[in-house]
Chain A
């Protein structure tokens, strides 16, 4: 198995605040990789570095063998042009905590937008695919609804369909259920479980320990910008070795 994401000593600072203090980890092809930790631990920032929404300050970050945001020639690094970064992002789907659906478009148009505008897929073809994807997330009947007419859980499922429309090889989830009513969380997690079973490589920042335990293949506990503990989710969650992990899990479980 090759690594889909590989981080070597990744550092990230916002001004004087160092948010990531050297992250080393590897996400294997086809696995569900869960990132947990208290807020402010840097897990969302790390996720956003993977598709270059944030620039890293030091270290190396690779997606599918390619350096993120840079090109290496000899021992020199060249910053990628915006268009080159955009090209890389096509292959990485992202789902946000606050959905970020385009409010001026219907659910179907949200899903159709990127394939048509970015990949140049024909409108008819994109519509057909959007229908399939909305059906897959259980929202075939909501194709014509605007985001404001949908519940949070429905919006998040449309957002997943929107990301899948680009046929990504990697999906990033940034606390996808944190903004949802408890009773709506299940629907979104079901869609994610289904996606995991189809073999998609997923990096999931989450507070849903149940999901991490059942669906996750690997788990990393982050705190204060470093990886504190990692391993099989079932082992880490039931028998944490590190003191910080124990303290965190005793609060959330």
Chain B
């Protein structure tokens, strides 16, 4: 009896087991299941409905009064490209300002000094609590209340000369972003186990070294994904600097759009460029997250190319099996 159990559980190859008679029913691999699958009628119905709606939408766009060739022509217009470049520039610079200031605010907020932590709290309270649009307008109109920027012996100039559209856009977006980045960084720093700080201190590491070498690298895993989202948001929010007359993507396309009576076409052009920028960055973000994931799981997640390759291979395998 035990002999038989051992054999079947070990999954012995068919050559070893005796064939014929009643014994054969227990030997060799079991017959593969060939059952009639459950029919999912609901899936068919919903697919048909969705496709029908999609067809209506495509039909509407095909019959709409859209000059598709204008979209194609203007897509690589030099003004549009320059606008897209400025959108990218202002987004990156504002993000850099936001991250640097955000890290500083997060450290201030977590410090034991009540003055610095309160100041950080008030900053975050104000810049998170008011709309960016309003903040941009305030930077733009700053000269109304402070006609001259006077930094004592260091610097003195007319406010209107200092607050160029570029500076309004940079300060408006960057200082607002800093408030959000501060909260993201604070969450990241708090997410690192206290035992890590203790272990570093027990080894004789200073506060600064502990923060730089031990805490921040681990906090990055928590900080990077929401920061990527913030940047994608920033690429889109930067369209608001239209209001401070900074000539970014939306402004340069709408100028062309209103002069050539192709408003919607140029909005399509702008959308295509926004999509291109956010898509390219999403890929970059994936690799960044992969880098900071090292050590957190037993094996690194695959790269995009590895993913595509395994997907293709698995499709091929299924086909050859069928």
Contact = CB atoms under 8 A, between A and B. Distances in A.
A82 B206 contact: yes
A60 interface: no
B218 A104 contact: yes
A99 to B, nearest CB: 8
A103 B195 contact: no
Interface in B187-204: 193, 195-196, 198-204
Interface residues of A, number: 31
Contacts of A217: none
Contact of A86 (B201, B213, B295, B296): B201
B195 A89 contact: no
Given A96-B195, A96-B198, A113-B213, A163 B203 contact: yes
Contacts of A104: 217-218, 294-296
Contacts of B203: 89-90, 113-114, 118, 162-163, 166
Contacts of B206: 82-83, 86
Contacts of A146: 294-295, 298
Contacts of B295: 103-106, 146-148
A94 B298 contact: no
A234 interface: no
A117 interface: yes
A214 to B, nearest CB: 27
Counting chain B residues whose Cβ lies within 8 A of the other chain, the interface size class is 20 to 34
B255 to A, nearest CB: 49
Given A94-B199, A96-B195, A100-B193, 18 more contacts: A53-B201, A86-B201, A89-B201, A89-B202, A90-B204, A93-B202, A94-B202, A96-B199, A98-B195, A100-B198, A102-B199, A103-B296, A105-B295, A106-B295, A114-B203, A118-B203, A148-B296, A163-B202
Lowest 3 CB-CB distances: which A-B pairs, in order?
Answer: A90-B204, A100-B199, A114-B203
B294 A114 contact: no
Nearest to B220: A104
A98 B213 CA distance: 20
A178 to B, nearest CB: 14
B207 interface: yes
Interface in A48-98: 51, 53, 82-83, 86-87, 89-90, 92-94, 96, 98
B196 A92 contact: no
A103 B213 CA distance: 12
Contacts of B163: none
A47 to B, nearest CB: 11
Contacts of A149: 298
> B-side binding surface: helix, strand, loop or mixed?
helix
Contacts of B297: 148
Given A105-B295, A117-B213, A166 B204 contact: yes
A121 to B, nearest CB: 13
Contact of B202 (A51, A83, A87): A51
B209 interface: yes
B209 A148 contact: no
A51 B204 CA distance: 10
B217 A117 contact: no
28 contacts: A53-B201, A53-B202, A86-B204, A87-B204, A89-B204, A90-B204, A92-B202, A96-B195, A98-B195, A100-B195, A102-B214, A103-B218, A103-B296, A104-B217, A104-B218, A104-B294, A104-B295, A104-B296, A117-B205, A118-B203, A118-B205, A146-B298, A147-B295, A148-B295, A148-B298, A149-B298, A163-B203, A166-B204
B195 A118 contact: no
A102 B205 CA distance: 13
Contact of A82 (B193, B198, B207): B207
B204 A118 contact: yes
Nearest to A162: B203
A173 B205 CA distance: 19
Contacts of B200: 102
A185 B139 CA distance: 64
Contact of A117 (B198, B201, B209, B218): B209
Interface in A119-152: 146-149
Contacts of B214: 102
A113 B212 CA distance: 12
Nearest to A114: B203
